[in-house]
Amino acid sequence: MQPSPAREDGQQAAPAPIRVMICDDSGVIRSAIANSLASAKDITVVAKVGDGRAAVDFVRRHDVDVVMLDIEMPVMDGLTALPLLLAAAPKISVIMVSSRTTAGADVSMQALRLGAAEYLCKPTADMAEDQRFSTSLIAMVRGFGRMRRPLPAPAMGTALVLRPAPKVPPRLLAIGSSTGGPNALFALVQQLSPKLSIPVLITQHLPAGFTPILAQTIERLGVLPCAEAKEGDAVLPGRILLAPGDRHMLIRRQGAGMVVHLAETPPENFCRPSVDPMLRSACDAVDGRVLVAMLTGMGRDGLLGSQKIIAAGGALIAQDEASSVVWGMPGAVAKAGLAHAVLPLSQMGAKLMAMIAGPAATTDARL
């Protein structure tokens, strides 16, 4: 991304627009994505190409911040083009544009492991008309475009007040994430101990068909066993359960233990699965002894559930703005004064492990 030029009066001019290239062999899809970005004045589509080779050639000759990259294309497919794009422009962010199929999900996860920043399901005719799709796409592009420029210094009076250490250790770790979440989840899970003494629940905003592949990818990290949650699954220490696409994951007591209940109740915060139902039910199941990790994501999903957990004596860590693709979900809980710590993604795992170990490992702090 080009730096912001200085004005004659010495003030910094507005940042240069985020430069986007759309690579898809379908002219309809190229137009749908371009139209969805058209309302954002800080984003400009600099190229629309039909295959991976053309994308690589363009990036070698022009400055591009974000590439929307299709997977299946003639001449050169997306997986082949991905490493060539990253070699040509190492700081570029590549968002894979995937079909809503199991095969599309599998290839998207491969792409993330190869260096893609995120993936996006291809817009249908209805989705292209949907303002929520455009809003989500713009937020994603802005988030990755921002990664190539420093954040402005926080304004005076905007410091975040952090909560004191919880008095008892948690019985459950609950993680919420959305835009930018898969890569954030991979990074966070790899910071956890393979001997984790409590269960882990994850709700990541994803469509049906993608969550089994995400669970398998987390499992392959080799840190903790992970599975897409099924009705009646036992919630066990040292095991990760991931909310399935199109179902809310709820936790219920059963005897001395806990089990999963999957609900088809209406979406919350426009999402199913949603983070809020997971947090509310987890709070009830363990009498508030929940440790929440709120990762990058658009919107405010998880705010109300986090409020309930904090009121019941639980604790929360939020990802900081600089390391988040979109500081919506973590920003909402941080600004509401619910966080025990607001940290870069690279530091969250150590803090979580310290809090799981008990109150002696935590401190009262202000940011």
Task: Give the percent of the chain with pLDDT over 90.
Answer: 77
The 3-class SS string of 61-128 reads HCCCCEEEEECCCCCCCHHHHHHHHHHHCCCCEEEEEECCCHHHHHHHHHHHHCCCCEEEECCCHHHH
Write down the residue that tokens 């639980």 correspond to.
314
Instruction: Please choose, from the candidates 201, 202, 186, 212, the residue with its C-alpha nearest in 3D space to the C-alpha of residue 346.
Output: 186
| Residue range of the domain that includes 353 | 172-361
Could you tell me if 291 and 314 are in contact, meaning their C-beta atoms sit under 8 angstroms apart?
yes
Residue 13, pLDDT above cutoff 80 = no
Annotated catalytic residue 26:
no
Radius of gyration of the chain (CA): 21
Predicted local distance difference test score (pLDDT) of residue 360: 56
Which residues, at least 6 apart from 334, have a Cβ–Cβ distance to it below 8 Å? 160, 318, 342
Residue 101 confidence (pLDDT): 73
Residues 140/95, Cβ–Cβ less than 8 Å: yes
Range among 11-20, 101-110, 160-169, 254-263 with highest mean pLDDT value: 254-263
**Does residue 69 sit within a domain?**
yes
318 or 100: which leads in pLDDT: 318
101 and 218 both lie in a single domain: no
The pLDDT value given to residue 150? 60
| H helix intervals, the chain | 27-37, 52-61, 78-88, 102-113, 125-129, 131-146, 181-189, 211-220, 275-285, 303-311, 329-335, 345-357
Looking at the predicted structure, is the pLDDT value of residue 364 above 80?
no
Structure-model confidence comparison of residues 125 and 16, the more confident one: 16
Residue at 73 is within a domain: yes
Q: How high is the pLDDT of residue 98?
A: 85
Catalytic one of 24, 51, 233, 301: 301
pLDDT per residue as tens digits for the range 40-61:
999 999 999 999 999 999 999 9
Convert the pLDDT of each residue in 212-268 to its tens digit.
999 999 999 999 999 999 999 999 999 999 999 999 999 999 999 999 999 999 999
The residue among 99 and 229 whose pLDDT is bigger is: 229
Question: What span, in angstroms and rounded, lies between the C-alpha atoms of 290 and 90?
Answer: 39
pLDDT of residue 5: 52
Could you read off the pLDDT of 127-157 as tens digits, one per residue?
Answer: 545 677 888 899 999 999 988 766 565 554 5
- Confidence grade of residue 363 (pLDDT, cut at 50, 70, 90): very low
pLDDT of residue 247: 96
Decide if pLDDT at 126 tops 70.
Answer: no
Residue 262 identity (one-letter amino acid): L
Cβ atoms of 98 and 120 closer than 8 Å: yes
Whether residue 203 has pLDDT greater than 70: yes
178 classed as catalytic: yes
Residues 100 and 188 in one domain: no
Of 142, 127, 217, 221, which Cα lies nearest the Cα of 179?
142
Which residue, 169, 192, 173, 160, is CA-closest to 362?
169
Return the CATH number at 48: 3.40.50.2300
CATH of the domain at 233: 3.40.50.180
| One domain for residues 275 and 178 | yes
CA 314 remoteness from chain centre? 23
Catalytic residue (choose from 93, 178, 274, 324):
178
Three-class DSSP category at 277: helix
pLDDT of residue 102: 77
Two structure tokens written together for 334: 């941080």
Does a structural domain hold residue 304?
yes
Under 8 Å between Cβ of 279 and 174: yes
- Give whole-number Cα distances, 158 to 155, 329, 367, in Å: 6, 17, 10
Asked whether residue 308 is domain-assigned, the answer is yes
* 98/46: higher pLDDT: 46
Average pLDDT, the chain: 90
Mean pLDDT for the stretch of residues 56-82? 96
Residue 134, pLDDT score? 87
| Domain co-membership, 122 together with 197 | no
Q: Assess whether pLDDT exceeds 80 at residue 100.
A: no
Share of the chain above pLDDT 70, in %: 89
The reply to whether 188 and 96 lie within a common domain is no
Q: Say if residue 303 is in the same domain as residue 179.
A: yes
Q: Are 206 and 140 in the same domain?
A: no
In a shared domain, residues 116 and 187: no
The yes-or-no answer on residue 205 being catalytic is: yes
Q: Is residue 165 part of a domain?
A: no
For residue 340, what are the CA distances in angstroms to 26, 307, 356?
47, 13, 13
Question: What is the model's pLDDT at position 120?
Answer: 87
Of residues 36, 51, 177, 205, which has the active-site annotation? 205
User: Does 203 lie in the same domain as 106?
Assistant: no
Is pLDDT of 305 > 90? yes
**Contact 85/94 with Cβ under 8 angstroms?**
yes
Give the chain's domain count: 2
pLDDT value, residue 362: 46
